[in-house]
Structure 1
Amino acid sequence: MGGFTDSRSPGNRTEVMANDAYELSGETEPDSMDDEEDEIQFNNLFVAATCAIYMYHEKYIWKAPSMPSKETGQMWVLNVLNGDPSRCLEAFRMPKEIFIDLLGELGSKYGLRGSRSTSIKEVLAMTLSVLGCNESNRTVCKRFQHSGETVSRYFNEGLMALARMSMDIISPSDFEPNIARDTKYMPYFKDCIGIIDSTHVKARVPVNDQVAHTGKKEPPKQKVLAVCDFNMCFTFVVAGWEGSTEDGTILNQVISDPAHNFPAPLKGKYYLVNCRCPMRRGFLQPYRENDRLPDFWPFCEFSHDYQRVFNQRHSSLHSVIKRAFGIWKKKWIVLQDMPFFSFEKQRLIVAATMALHNYIRRHHSRSDPDFREYDENPEFVPSETQKYHVAEDPISQPGEYNGQDEYDYSDEDELDFEGENDDTTMSMAQLRDRIAHELATGAVSI
């Protein structure tokens, strides 16, 4: 039979046909493989991008409640503000009207902001919960239904807003306290513009720094030097000094360094200081045990009585800052047991809580029951570590103040200060003698 016949088997013929198709199509099979690899790479990148977007959304946009509850943080804040007044005092350490005014001022002047999911009320409430109640991050998370990262971030923002406010509010004011009309002190101390003293605040520092921060008592502390007016408001503060640093050392540094912007007294005015601060122009110490009055005084046999009377009045006035320290630490519990923050943040907490102290005290309503309690008991000086309670009845618990207006004037308090024996020191000593004479005799020099 004529014609062409293929003697190969069917399988061989199929293989030949496939090869022929490959030869006709050129490089078709490798191109197809490249397309598949590109598609796989695209799918992998798409999956990776989707996962990244999902993780970002989970971490920064959508926050799962740490303890699912029907009461959100915003609802809790509103319930506290609109509930029993004592609840607001316990939670925020201030009455509702002061909270609302503080909220407006921090938002309009000092950059306090909220977000789409966290109101500005919550930001301030979280900050006050930490400062006033020393609540942990976990506790605040549960109460406000936010993550730990959110709580930490907004506490930092609230703290910075308060620190900015402290730059304005920790300053002298024109308020005239009741003491200006008290014949026990006036006109003898008419040129006194405030009191200077120091206090300790517990500090969290590295082990290598603990010895320097220990001070006189354990545990490690930072020393805070402050100026206070007779309205129990702080007008100057410098924080962050090692607990063992002497008051005179801090004051000398503050006065000599313009960066501290210390409110130096004008000519003829002065601060009351203790025996650990330098006696110089503008700073009036009490008498020490080895001080004596001038021999030309009349009734010199009673000179020690003159010293005692002066020291009693000096101590009574000086106790105003002790009372200010007491109520400051009573309200803001974080000062009694500082969390494990950086030391810089611990310094900011001191400034922020003093700013809150001044804001509450100077509020036009004068409605804070804690300050009202102290106003009704002008001789009371509290323990700086007493527990917080909402003020209802006058204070009846004994404090550090013994009512005798006495200092410990031992020779151990005598320190050497540069320039202590110069003319300015003599002028302050003469002023002290004159006031002591006026107090003892009732003869006031005009």
Structure 2
Amino acid sequence: MKAAACVVAVLIIRKLRRRRNKRKCIKKRQCWMRPLFQQRTKNLEGIFYEINYRTPQFLRLSLEEFEHIHTLVEPFIKKMDTHWRTAITSKERLAITLRYLATGDSYSSLQYTFHVSKQTISTIIPEVCDAIVRALKDMVQLPVSEQDWKAVSKDFEEKWNFPHTIGALDGKHINIQAPFRSGTEYFNYKKFFSIVLLALVDANYNFMYVNIGSQGRISDGGVYKHSELYRKVENNQLNVPAPEILQIPYITKIPYVILGDQAFALSTHLMTPFAGIHPKGSKERIFNYRLSRARRVVENAFGIMSAKFRVLRSTMILSPKSAKTIVLATVHLHNFLRRDSLLKKTNDSTIETASFTPNQFITTPSDIRIFLSRYFMTNGSIDWQERY
């Protein structure tokens, strides 16, 4: 027993000595802040000089737009100074975030631009993006009344020659680094890891609804089937106008529909192209052309947003949750930059509709598609449709 106690005592003494020697080897901190980051204040003045007078596209926003956004998000991101150091200002935080969204640069690259450590930047960007979404939450929302939906439909008919359309639907894969221990959940058919951005867009390239975060392996149709938008559409909870005739002398009532590609299932509320290859000049081919012409606004909206905020073109070295916050911020900023189009759309929201009796109803999605294809061949035709 005494021998065992002696061995334990020796081991404890050795462990204590190792801890003491380890503490002696630890170097004292040389400085509170590295010289690179001490130049942050002077560097900020130079950055805003560039924004004002030389390169206004540095943050993808004009000075007036930047100040407007800053006013909205400042209450959410402002930090207090301490006795040890001054806090990074709200303008600096917003500028760092906007530059990241505009370029998709790594945090290591941004730290040399803004003289802020990459560890601090990794906490600033998600926080500011979340504040942008909260401040601009009214920029992305579905119409609430029948007149608002009719305004959307009027824009589609006047600009893209497809009547009774209340939006174009599609999905976009956002490239991310493979999440830890995720297997193939985020691996899509394009052979990279992603989350899916599902969006409903109006005729003016504005996002009305977005759903982000689904694993890349899930198809666009699968994401839509599990979305809140699908549930509300199927349960008639969106105040979409009732079916109406297209024009006199028609008596058949056609419902208002969403346009999608072949990744989605045909339904009463969602029109998709005819499958297969059809001869030139046939009603099926003309219908597919007219539908694709109107549906491409959602593709255009994705392209405009990705060109403005190039973080969407790079691989995000982030968790799916953080990547979702980043993408939501770009969507809201996209709509903010197009707010003039939003105001024009909402101001002109009155449409005269024709009623005609007796009425005939179409109940099946395939019959609705056939009726529209015939309509495009007769009264609803346009001069150039048979060229494609």
> Structure 2 length normalisation: TM-score?
0.69
The within-5 A match list for 1:267-282 is: 267-268=242-243, 269-282=256-269
2:372 maps to which residue? 435
1:172 maps to which residue? 142
| Superposed CA offset, 1:242-281 (max 9, x none) | 21212222111115667xx998461432211112212222
| Superposed CA offset, 1:325-375 (max 9, x none) | 112122222222233222210111111111111111115799xxxxxxxxx
**Cα distance in 2, alignment partners of residues 76 and 115 from structure 1:** 23
| Corresponding residue SS for 1:83 | helix
- Cα distance, 1:426 vs structure 2: 4.6
| Corresponding residue SS for 1:93 | coil
The within-5 A match list for 1:140-219 is: 140-165=110-135, 167-172=137-142, 180=155, 185-186=160-161, 189-206=162-179, 208-219=181-192
**Cα distance in 2, alignment partners of residues 341 and 262 from structure 1:** 37
**Cα distance in 2, alignment partners of residues 182 and 233 from structure 1:** 16
**Cα distance in 2, alignment partners of residues 431 and 248 from structure 1:** 20
1:76 maps to which residue? 46
Q: Cα–Cα, structure 1 residues 342 and 284, in superposed 2: closer, same or farther, change >3 Å?
A: same
> Structure 1 length normalisation: TM-score?
0.61
2:17 maps to which residue? none
* Preserved contact between residue 201 and residue 222 of structure 1 (Cα < 8 Å): yes
* Preserved contact between residue 176 and residue 318 of structure 2 (Cα < 8 Å): no
- Cα distance, 1:440 vs structure 2: 0.9
Tell me the amino acid that sits aligned with residue 163 of structure 1. Answer: V
**Cα distance in 2, alignment partners of residues 112 and 193 from structure 1:** 37
Q: Cα–Cα, structure 1 residues 333 and 70, in superposed 2: closer, same or farther, change >3 Å?
A: closer
Structure ID, larger Rg: 1
- More deviation in 91-100 or 352-361? 91-100
**Cα distance in 1, alignment partners of residues 40 and 196 from structure 2:** 44
Tell me the amino acid that sits aligned with residue 180 of structure 1. Answer: D
- Cα distance, 1:233 vs structure 2: 1.2
Which residue, 300, 305, 325 being the options, matches 1:348? 325
* Preserved contact between residue 170 and residue 260 of structure 2 (Cα < 8 Å): yes
Q: Cα–Cα, structure 1 residues 433 and 83, in superposed 2: closer, same or farther, change >3 Å?
A: same
**Cα distance in 2, alignment partners of residues 107 and 363 from structure 1:** 23
**Cα distance in 1, alignment partners of residues 261 and 126 from structure 2:** 36
| Superposed CA offset, 1:165-215 (max 9, x none) | 4543221366968983865744xx332111111111111223642523221
RMSD, matched Cα: 3.6
* Preserved contact between residue 179 and residue 185 of structure 1 (Cα < 8 Å): no
**Cα distance in 1, alignment partners of residues 101 and 370 from structure 2:** 44
- More deviation in 305-314 or 173-182? 173-182
* Preserved contact between residue 166 and residue 354 of structure 1 (Cα < 8 Å): no
2:18 maps to which residue? none
Which residue, 107, 112, 122 being the options, matches 2:77? 112
Tell me the amino acid that sits aligned with residue 78 of structure 2. Answer: R
The within-5 A match list for 1:14-413 is: 63-66=33-36, 69=39, 72-84=42-54, 87-89=55-57, 91-107=58-74, 111-116=76-81, 117-165=87-135, 167-172=137-142, 180=155, 185-186=160-161, 189-206=162-179, 208-254=181-227, 255=229, 264=238, 266=240, 267-268=242-243, 269-289=256-276, 305-363=282-340
- Cα distance, 1:107 vs structure 2: 2.8
- Cα distance, 1:218 vs structure 2: 2.4
Q: Cα–Cα, structure 1 residues 137 and 263, in superposed 2: closer, same or farther, change >3 Å?
A: farther
Q: Cα–Cα, structure 1 residues 166 and 197, in superposed 2: closer, same or farther, change >3 Å?
A: farther
* Preserved contact between residue 97 and residue 128 of structure 2 (Cα < 8 Å): yes
Q: Cα–Cα, structure 1 residues 106 and 71, in superposed 2: closer, same or farther, change >3 Å?
A: closer
| Superposed CA offset, 1:92-124 (max 9, x none) | 12222222222222236xx23244432221111
Q: Cα–Cα, structure 1 residues 205 and 263, in superposed 2: closer, same or farther, change >3 Å?
A: farther
Please list every run of 5 or more consecutive structure 2 residues that lacks an aligned counterpart in the other structure. 1-27, 82-86, 244-255, 344-360, 382-388
**Cα distance in 2, alignment partners of residues 331 and 231 from structure 1:** 16
**Cα distance in 2, alignment partners of residues 234 and 326 from structure 1:** 13
Q: Cα–Cα, structure 1 residues 182 and 141, in superposed 2: closer, same or farther, change >3 Å?
A: same
Please list every run of 5 or more consecutive structure 1 residues that lacks an aligned counterpart in the other structure. 1-53, 292-301, 367-423
Tell me the amino acid that sits aligned with residue 91 of structure 2. Answer: K
